Amino acid sequence: MSLDFPRQKLGHFPTPIEYLKNISNHLNGPQIYIKRDDCTGLATGGNKTRKLEYLIPDAIKNKATLVVTVGAVQSNHARQTAAACAILNLKCLIVLEKRLIDAPKVYNNSANIFLDKLLGAEIIYCPEERDVKEFAEEIIEKRRIDGEIPYFIPVGGSNEIGELGYVECMREIIQETKNYKFTHIIVASGSGGTHSGSIVGKIYYKYNANIIGISVKDKKIDQEEKVLNLATKCCDYIKCAYPKREEILVFDDYVGKGYGIPTEGMREAVNLLAKKEAILLDPVYSGKSFNGLVDLINKKYFKDTDRVLFIHTGGAVSLHAYEWAFESSFF
């Protein structure tokens, strides 16, 4: 039984699940599959489309005239939010945080930034010394005084409403794989909504797979606590059983120096999947999470008989802003 909550069609679903034959043979471990959520179709696609299909109807329900969200400069979430607003004739304001202070000019002017502008979003940069959420709240209050009805979407679209997108993604996975099951599902864990929604979906639809989050930002203990809190709120929202603490598993070995900061492992993972399967990962999320998957395989974390599903969260458009990070001199 699918969830009964308002949903606005924004993407192309179901996204395909593909067997990565070349990668599986190359790594000589478990069978590796990929869920192509880079193919959701909303302004180059990505995982945030699923969340926005539930968040945008809530904005409309609240009679919003302006949707406000926050993110880093090369935020995939910001770009997809701008696209969703364009489709629904809503104004979009994006508050961006410059987390890579010494990045080349191209990082701050191309890729997602260019698409944000092309899609009609207004962009305001958060001062370096300010907390981005507090700064956004001040802007929201000013816009409210000016007569707008603002609707705030948290970073990554990660709250109990946005998580519904990945609760339903689990149902989609079950329907696509009726003749076999996955033992493990690997997902990038940043703002936490994709990870937590997948865990809630596993509980709600009674799917027995181990869900592993590869952190792209926070330490293991902090990320696991964040995901558990998000999952618990979503369970309250849809009235299902809570996850057990031991069901929340995060590896934090692949973050590097911080969120959005390139690592050698990310570069190797992006190159590997491009050259073996012609699939493009992104430098911030899927590149680091696929690096984690490869490393876990090399460390014999999985059995050779396992079936592992990697959720591709999209974002390859940001490769254009990170070309400098693939130069040998950077490392």
The pLDDT of residue 15 is 98
Which sign does the torsion angle of CA 16, 19, 23, 29 carry?
positive
Q: Are residues 65 and 35 in the same domain?
A: no
pLDDT of 330 strictly over 70: no
Q: Are residues 180 and 224 in the same domain?
A: yes
The pLDDT of residue 101 is 83
Q: Are residues 163 and 153 in the same domain?
A: no
pLDDT of 127 strictly over 60: yes
pLDDT of 85 strictly over 60: yes
The pLDDT of residue 103 is 87
Residues contacting 290, CB < 8 A, separation 6+: 269, 270, 272, 273, 281, 310
What pLDDT digit, counting tens, does each position of 131-149 carry? 999 999 999 999 999 999 9
Average pLDDT of the residues in 155-178:
98
CB atoms within 10 A of CB 270: 26
In a domain, 12, yes or no: no
Identify whether 24 is a catalytic site residue.
Answer: no
Bridge partners, residue 124, by sequence = 95
Q: Which of 105, 124, 157 is the last residue of a domain?
A: 157
pLDDT of 248 strictly over 60: yes
Structure tokens at 190: 């940043």
Give the percent of the chain with pLDDT over 90: 96
What pLDDT digit, counting tens, does each position of 51-62 carry? 999 999 999 999
Q: Are residues 197 and 323 in the same domain?
A: yes
First-to-final CA distance of the chain: 49
Q: Are residues 170 and 110 in the same domain?
A: no
- Of 24, 75, 196, 289, catalytic: 75
Residues contacting 181, CB < 8 A, separation 6+: 207, 208, 209, 307
Q: Are residues 23 and 132 in the same domain?
A: no
Q: Are residues 180 and 133 in the same domain?
A: no
**Rounded to an integer, what distance in angstroms lies between the CA atom of residue 124 and that of residue 150?**
15
Distances (CA, A) of 275 to 26, 27, 87, 117, 254: 12, 14, 35, 32, 21
pLDDT of 331 strictly over 70: no
Q: What is the CATH number of the domain that holds 59?
A: 3.40.50.1100
Model-level pTM?
Answer: 0.97
pLDDT of 185 strictly over 70: yes
- Which residue has 């034959």 as its token pair? 21
Structure tokens at 130: 């300010």
**Rounded to an integer, what distance in angstroms lies between the CA atom of residue 129 and that of residue 310?**
37
Q: Are residues 326 and 205 in the same domain?
A: yes
Q: Is 71 helix (H, G, I), strand (E, B) or coil?
A: strand
pLDDT of 20 strictly over 70: yes
pLDDT of 321 strictly over 70: yes
Q: Are residues 97 and 28 in the same domain?
A: no
- How many distinct structural domains can be found in the chain? 2
Q: Is 93 helix (H, G, I), strand (E, B) or coil?
A: strand
Q: Are residues 147 and 220 in the same domain?
A: no
Do residues 238 and 205 make contact, with C-beta atoms less than 8 angstroms apart? Answer: no
Q: Which of 105, 132, 157 is the last residue of a domain?
A: 157
pLDDT of 281 strictly over 70: yes
Average pLDDT of the residues in 166-180:
97
In a domain, 7, yes or no: no
What pLDDT digit, counting tens, does each position of 99-115 carry? 888 889 999 999 999 99
The strand pair at 31-36 and 17-19 is best described as antiparallel
How high does pLDDT run on average in the chain? 97
Expressed as residue numbers, the domain containing 316 is 17-46+159-330
